[in-house]
Amino acid sequence: MSSLDSTLTRQALAEGVVVRTGTDTPVALRLRYVGSGTVTSVTVTTATNIVTVTSDGGTDTYAFATYATLGALADAINGVGIFEAKVLDDLRSSATASQYVNGAITSGTDGEGNTVWDVELDTSAALRVTACLSAHRDFDKPSRRVKLNVASYLVNMGTAAADSANIYLRRGNTETKLVSTTSVDNTATTLVSGSASGALAGYIGGGNRADDEYIVLVKDAATLADAAGNYVHVAGTLE
């Protein structure tokens, strides 16, 4: 009975969530300052590094030649302890050099009111548009179970190709490809579609595993336009 009660409680407290990204808007890495002073700047030099300047940590430089993948970069930043870093709309295995929007990052606010600095993907340079459905896009969110109900995209790419529209599961630091399909150029395309009524709902996820994340990644091998109409859209529920 307690298991049933727990399940019913989760369903009653379920929360809908939508993430929609486009040209140069996927958040590859989100940073939160956890030091004891103030932040002067967070700056991306797209081919070279990320540099943070704070009153208590001084200048910290994270060279892409040293931290060649996004996961290694996030782990290095977390290891220093001046900023907390989380990987969002990209894979931990993705390369870092010449992937991100260049320049000083203006701070923003996440859904929990935390001041954050978002390292955004330069989609035409990275040759992909991505979006992540996660219970933890915001810092300080409680553990939740994630269901991916809708995944769709429209991307102006150079050449449609096999294995170019994908869905990945991220569980901790492990990322597994769940869906691999041939991409469709500049056309609204659905990868996952849940039933609005719920009677025949199609989804990925749920179960008893908290904190799973789902990344939809649409890529091209050579060119990807900086088109205003580009998007990757994911929607689902947190339980």
Pairwise CA distance, residues 129 & 27, whole Å: 10
Q: What is the model's pTM?
A: 0.91
What is the dotted CATH code of the domain comprising 1-24+124-239? 2.60.120
DSSP string, 42-74: EEEETTTEEEEEETTTEEEEEETTTS-BHHHHH
DSSP letter assigned to residue 127: T
Please give the average per-residue pLDDT across 156-171, as a whole number: 97
Closest to 120 measured CA to CA, from 130, 135, 133: 130
- Top pLDDT among 6 and 214 is at 214
Residue 115 pLDDT > 60: yes
Residue 202 pLDDT > 80: no
Residue 216 pairs in a beta bridge with 131, 167
Whether the CB-CB separation of 100 and 120 falls below 8 Å is answered with yes
| Region of poorest pLDDT, from 2-6, 27-31, 158-162, 207-211 | 2-6
Residue 42 pLDDT > 70: yes
Please give the average per-residue pLDDT across 195-213, as a whole number: 65
Q: What angle do CA 190, 25, 109 make, to 5 degrees?
A: 120
Pairwise CA distance, residues 16 & 146, whole Å: 10
Residue 5 pLDDT > 60: no
Please give the average per-residue pLDDT across 210-234, as a whole number: 96
Q: Cα Rg for the chain, rounded, in angstroms?
A: 18
| Residue 195 confidence (pLDDT) | 55
| Residue 4 confidence (pLDDT) | 45
| Residue 1 confidence (pLDDT) | 47
Pairwise CA distance, residues 55 & 46, whole Å: 24
Domains of the chain, by residue range, sit at 1-24+124-239, 27-120
Pairwise CA distance, residues 176 & 2, whole Å: 32
- The predicted-structure confidence for 59-114, as pLDDT tens digits, reads as follows 999 999 999 999 999 999 999 999 999 999 999 999 999 999 999 999 999 999 99
Number of Cβ within 10 Å of residue 70's Cβ equals 25
Q: What kind and span of H or E run contains 77?
A: helix 70-80
